[in-house]
Amino acid sequence: MGKLFGTFGVRGIANEKITPEFALKMGMAFGTLLKREGRKRPLVIVGRDPRVSGEMLEGALISGLLSVGVDVIDVGIAPTPAIQFACRHFNSDGGAVITASHNPPEYNGIKLLEPNGLGLKKEREAVVEELFFSEDFDRAGWYEIGEVRKEDIIRPYLDAIKSRVDVEVIKRRKPFVVVDTSNGAGSLTLPYLLRELGCKVVSINAHPDGHFPARNPEPNEENLQGFMRIVKALGADFGVAQDGDADRAVFIDENGNFIQGDKTFALVVKAMLQENNGGLVVTTIATSHIIDELARQYNGKVIKTKVGDLIVSRALLEHNGLVGGEENGGVIFPDFVLGRDGAMTTAKIVEIFSKSGKKFSELIEELPRFYQMKTKRHIKGDRHTAVANVARIAEQRGFRLDTTDGTKILFDDGWVLVRASGTEPIIRIFAEARSEEKAEEYLSLGLELLEEALKL
């Protein structure tokens, strides 16, 4: 039997791998699962980002669901977190999001969701996979075919976010924010949300366009060079940029500097630990130890998981966590949406900024100071074996290790992580320390151990 799903859903080139037939079968398989679990008339939420192939795939997926007797609420183009929110809001039996997140425009994909909006459980995913390949679908009689209705989720989603922050404090400060939603799904939410919160807003690339004509939808420093200049030139308080499906938000300070995702995550963690008098934070092994330091200062606890937003979300649910996040600018507010949420993150950051009365760069400056360095090495052989061999060598040398995901060597003042990429023939090395020299030293150590491991 083939394998369908990656770490969260399935992704590929539209009309090559992700065809209408593919989406149709996916709908039939998911619907059949729900019916066989005993739901008489299941309700599934379907939505998508604005990719060119989105409408075609959405139509096919919905047909598949209807044909097995599932009712559908079609929320149309919306951010992934808004569709996850809709699963709870409409009291659904599950959801499906048609998106390829930050990937280039030719890609698309499908994520399946639990009734609470969390990514589908592994065991249920395995059943969908089996049904997909065996084509063992429970087709409904003509009188039992499902019904579809369109509903707006944008308004309820924005209202829910607004109810979770102090709008009065934001209105008093009236921050000037420049927004770049990369012509993605966030174009329908973020500029409006910020204006309603009382910000002065200038938006660019804010019409949904599945060609992503303005920039690559991955919001990294390389792709945001132009935006960083705009934020500074306009004299804004800060800038915020999103990926194609708007589950991530990354920030630019008033000087046009790109702020690493784990620093904005740290601002949220600091504020929420203070507000709640402590709490449990879930993050990945690759995130800055700024988070650990803040947890020590503000009565928090930290759980570290493997890399992946779905893994962090599951751990938050399981351990009743307060907040979670990753180093790439995705923050998870589990009592709101069980997944990364770019708009909620932005609203929280705007609130923190407004309350503080400080400049954005000053807020970042106040965080515990660590220096980070990253590099990568292309390799030909089995990258997972290489990383395991790094662990063996490091252990022989008496280093303190954490092998939750990859090989992480811990020091009192820093760490280095050697980790295989999930999708490319690359091994990444991250190092972090309290001084620049030490970070450099740990990065070199990681590389050195990797070279040695590759000789085995």
Catalytic residue of the set 101, 187, 313, 354 = 101
Q: Could you count the other beta carbons within 10 Å of the beta carbon of residue 15?
A: 15
Closer residue to Mg ion (CB): 107 or 132: 107
* Minimal distance, residue 40 CB to Mg ion, in Å: 34
Count of residues making up the chain = 456
- The one-letter code for the residue type at 207 is H
Q: Could you count the other beta carbons within 10 Å of the beta carbon of residue 378?
A: 10
* Minimal distance, residue 307 CB to Mg ion, in Å: 15
Return the DSSP state at 76.
E
Cα–Cα distance for residue pair 313/317, rounded to 1 Å: 6
Closer residue to Mg ion (CB): 46 or 373: 46
Cα–Cα distance for residue pair 282/451, rounded to 1 Å: 32
Closer residue to Mg ion (CB): 245 or 405: 245
Closer residue to Mg ion (CB): 101 or 305: 101
* Minimal distance, residue 168 CB to Mg ion, in Å: 31
Closer residue to Mg ion (CB): 12 or 414: 12
* Minimal distance, residue 247 CB to Mg ion, in Å: 4
Cα–Cα distance for residue pair 14/304, rounded to 1 Å: 35
Structure tokens at 434: 């309290």
CA-angle at 51, arms to 194 and 13, nearest 5°: 140
What is the CB-side half-sphere exposure of residue 31 using CA atoms within 13 A?
32
Return the DSSP state at 434.
S
* Minimal distance, residue 340 CB to Mg ion, in Å: 7
Q: Which residue is nearest to Mg ion (CB)?
A: 101
Q: Could you count the other beta carbons within 10 Å of the beta carbon of residue 172?
A: 12
Q: Is 101 a catalytic site residue?
A: yes
Per DSSP bridges, beta strands 279-284 and 323-325 are: parallel
The residue ranges that bind Mg ion (CB under 5 A) are: 101, 243, 245, 247
* Residues annotated catalytic, as ranges: 101
